[in-house]
Amino acid sequence: MLSISTDESFSSPRCNIQAPKVEVLVLNFQTKNYNYSLPEFVDTMDNLKVLIITNYGFFPTELRNFQQLNSLPDLKTIRLEKVSIPSLFKAPVLLKSLKKISLFMCNIGQAFGNCAIKVSDALPNLMEINIDYCNDLVELPAVLCDVILLKTLIITNCHQLSTLPNEVGKLVNLEVLRLRSCTDLSELPESITGLKNLRLLDISDCLSIRHLPKEIGELCKLEEIHMKGCLSLRNKLPPSTTNLEQLKLVICDEERAKFWEPIKEVLTNLEVKVAEKDINLTWLLKP
């Protein structure tokens, strides 16, 4: 593992570092500029498996020369924090070994647009996407739904996210769909019923969702639904809900728990848990 931290006084990424055996690279930086370039020695790290880049500045900084990662044949995990990505694949980037990408507090609204190649060709083995507090994400890019090996899609605290594309139903291998605290998300597309391998659906604190998909019962492998804090969901559940024979656990608030009472009469193995109210005022004590 190699960790490098630089502050605003560091002016150049040029470093004569030879680290051919490094498997995990952590880059922590602050910069006065509006962009940050990967160090030149990165493309010599043939054994690199994990890349973590964290910007400690106040605002997202544009990450440049991303195509440098083309030379890393074993790169499996990327985590970016507070980075602006105008177009992740504007210059061809092939990350054929990448399995997981995490984006925290990043500007990614244009990251998957204007791609020089198909995202499914650039990320053929991607299995997990984590997107958290990316405030400029308004709509999940439909091109991501071509990455059919994807098993986990987690989008949390993206308060501008209002729409999921109909193409989401193409993610036939998806097992976990977590959309927690996406407060502007108003509905789940009906195409979600194409996710025949989905085991967990989490829409906790999605304040604007008014109803579940009409044919939600087609999610034949669904085992858990988390729907605490779905305050706009005030109607009865779709009749097809009784077809969720594998459903074992529902976590919701007290009002939504009432909707599940008639469902429990059919799905006798179903457990409905009322989530405890999380009232934490310790932040008031902080200076």
Mean pLDDT of 30-39: 81
Residue 112 has pLDDT above 80, yes or no: no
Higher-scoring residue by pLDDT: 235, 184: 184
DSSP at 224: E
Higher-pLDDT residue of 247, 87: 247
Domain 127-276 has CATH 3.80.10.10: yes
Name which of 75, 63, 67, 73 is nearest 100 in CA terms: 75
DSSP 47: T
- Relative to beta strand 24-29, strand 2-6 is parallel
Give the DSSP letter of residue 28: E
Domain layout of the chain by residue ranges = 1-97, 127-276
Digit-coded pLDDT (tens) for 168-224: 999 999 999 999 999 999 999 999 999 999 999 999 999 999 999 999 999 999 999
pTM listed for this prediction:
0.90
Beta strands in the chain (DSSP E): 2-6, 24-29, 35-37, 50-55, 61-64, 77-81, 83-84, 100-104, 128-132, 152-156, 176-178, 200-202, 224-226, 249-252, 271-274
Q: What are the residues whose beta carbons fall under 8 Å from the beta carbon of 77, sequence distance 6 or more? A: 49, 50, 51, 98, 99, 100, 101, 102
Q: Cβ contacts of residue 195 below 8 Å, gap of 6+?
A: 168, 169, 171, 172, 174, 177, 219
- Let me know: does 100 contact 72? Beta carbons within 8 Å: no
Lowest mean pLDDT among 48-62, 77-91, 136-150, 256-270: 77-91
